[in-house]
Chains A and B, each alone.
Chain A
Amino acid sequence: MPEYALVAENNCVPPDVLAFIAAAINLQMQRDVAPVWGGEVWTCVALDSLSGVASTGARKILTFKTQLGLANALGFHTESSGVDYAEALPPATPAPGQAIDGTTASHEVVETFGDPTCNAYVAGPSGRRLARELADPVEADAYPISVRIGPETRQVMVSNFVLPSWFNGGAGPYDYLEHLDAPETMTKGGYFEYLDGSGNSQQVFADARGRLAWLAKMTNPSSRVQARVRGAFSRAAAAPLRT
C-alpha cells in the first residue's frame, strides 16, 4: 500500500519544516496507527516538487496550498477518478522553540489511511452508520513527536485518532491519547458524521467549538466523488447542534 508524499506549492511551507512534518507522520503511521489498525504501514516523505518524480500508483500526494480546492477548509482528502489525494493549508510559522504544527497533514494522512476512497461507513454500537474517519472525533487533540534530522531536533504536533473500539464497541481505550471513555463520543472540538435511516449525512458536534471547527463530508452524487473536510471555520455554514 501507498506512501504519502508531502509537497508545498510555491514553497509555502519551508522545506525544512516540510521534512520535519513528513518524518513525524512517518513515525506516527508506523508506531501509532499501524499496530492498532491492522498492521499495514504507510510511509511518508517530503518532496520539494513533483518535477521529474516517477509516476506510481503507490504514491499519494498531500499538497500544502495557500488556497485549497474547497473553500473554508484547513484541509481535505478526497478521491477523484481513482486517484486519492489531499490538500492542506500551510501550518502557522512556529515561534522559535515552539513545536511545528503538523496536525492538519497528520489528520489527512491518517484519515486517508482509514478510508482511502472516502466512502466507508461502519455500523456502530448505536446502530448508526458511522463514517470511517479516524481523526474527526478527536480532531482538536494533538501530541508531540520529536524528530531529529542531522544536527537539528524539532517537536512536531500530530493529530490524535480513534481506535477500532470507537466504531466497534467493547472495552476501551477508544482513542490513541485515551481521552474518550466510550464509543461514538468526542473530545472538545470533535465531530463525527453518520448516515441516518434515510441515508442522509448527519453531523454530530462535541460542542460549539466543534460546530465552528466545521467538519463536513462533501458528496457529489453525480460523480460519486466524496471529499472529507477538516476544520473549516464558518459561522454561516455551521449546522444546528445535534447530540
Chain B
Amino acid sequence: MKVSWFGTLLVAALGAGGLMGCTHPPPRDQNIGPAPPFVSGTYDCGAASTWKTSTFAGLVPAVQRAVANDNPDNALTGLLRTHAAEEVTCVAGYVHDESVKQQATATDKDLAGKRVAATQAWISEQSARGLTVTNYTGDAR
C-alpha cells in the first residue's frame, strides 16, 4: 500500500516535471447544448434518467459556486441555461443538507448558513413551480 502510494507521488511529480500538462480526461459534465425544457413533476435524484447534462457529483461544484454568489438565486438560475431544473434542484438539496450539517458543527457558521438559506429558497421556488426532488442525500464516513 505504501509502495503504491509512493508510486502515485512519483508519477504525479514526474508528470509535472515533464510538463505533460493535465492528463485527466475532459470533465464528464461538460455541457453540449441547451438545457432540456422545464417539466414539472417529482424527480428521483438517484435515477439515471434524471441526469441529462451532468452527473450528480459533477454538478456539485457549479451549484456550490452559485450559492457562494452575492446573488445566489440569480446564479442558480444561470445554471438552467445548461442544466435541467431537476438536476440543479437535486444538487441544491444535497448542498442544503450538507450545509445544515456543517452549520451545526463548524466553528464559523456564516458561510454554511448562507448556503442553507440560498438552497432552501431555491428548493421552495422550484416547489412553487411544481418541481420537487427526492433521494438527494449524501454522507461521508
Contacts and interface: CB of A to CB of B under 8 A. Distances in A.
A12 B61 CA distance: 13
Nearest to A189: B6
B2 A141 contact: yes
Interface stretch (A76-84, A88-96, A116-124): A88-96
Contact of B110 (A49, A58, A91): A58
A209 B9 CA distance: 11
A219 to B, nearest CB: 22
A27 interface: yes
A195 interface: no
Interface in B2-18: 2, 5-6, 8-17
A46 B61 contact: yes
Interface stretch (A144-152, A165-173, A197-205, A220-228): A144-152
B46 A52 contact: no
A90 B10 contact: no
Interface in A86-104: 89-93, 101, 103-104
A213 B10 CA distance: 8
B68 to A, nearest CB: 5
Q: Is the interface of B mostly helix, strand, loop or mixed?
A: helix
A243 interface: no
B68 A47 contact: yes
A19 interface: yes
B33 interface: no
Contacts of A51: 65
Contact of A46 (B27, B60, B111): B60
A157 B69 CA distance: 30
Contact of A23 (B10, B16, B138): B138
B62 interface: yes
Interface in B60-100: 60-62, 64-65, 68-70, 75, 90-91, 94, 98
A115 interface: no
Contacts of B45: 150-151
A91 B12 contact: yes
Interface in B88-141: 90-91, 94, 98, 102, 105-108, 110-112, 135-141
Nearest to A3: B111
Contacts of B111: 3, 43, 56, 58-59
Sorting the interface of chain A by its residue count into under 10, 10 to 19, 20 to 34 or 35 or more gives 35 or more
Contact of A67 (B16, B55, B105, B107): B16
A44 B21 CA distance: 26
Contact of A74 (B12, B28, B137): B12
Given A149-B56, A188-B2, A233 B69 contact: no
A10 interface: yes
A199 B105 CA distance: 39
A177 to B, nearest CB: 12
A15 B62 contact: yes
29 contacts: A13-B24, A15-B62, A16-B28, A19-B58, A20-B57, A23-B138, A30-B105, A39-B107, A41-B105, A42-B107, A43-B102, A43-B106, A45-B64, A48-B62, A48-B64, A50-B65, A58-B110, A66-B22, A67-B19, A89-B12, A89-B13, A91-B8, A140-B5, A150-B46, A150-B57, A150-B138, A154-B57, A189-B2, A232-B13
Interface of B: 2, 5-6, 8-17, 19, 21-29, 45-48, 55-62, 64-65, 68-70, 75, 90-91, 94, 98, 102, 105-108, 110-112, 135-141
Cβ-closest 8 pairs across A and B: A150-B56, A233-B13, A48-B61, A19-B60, A16-B57, A12-B22, A27-B140, A16-B58
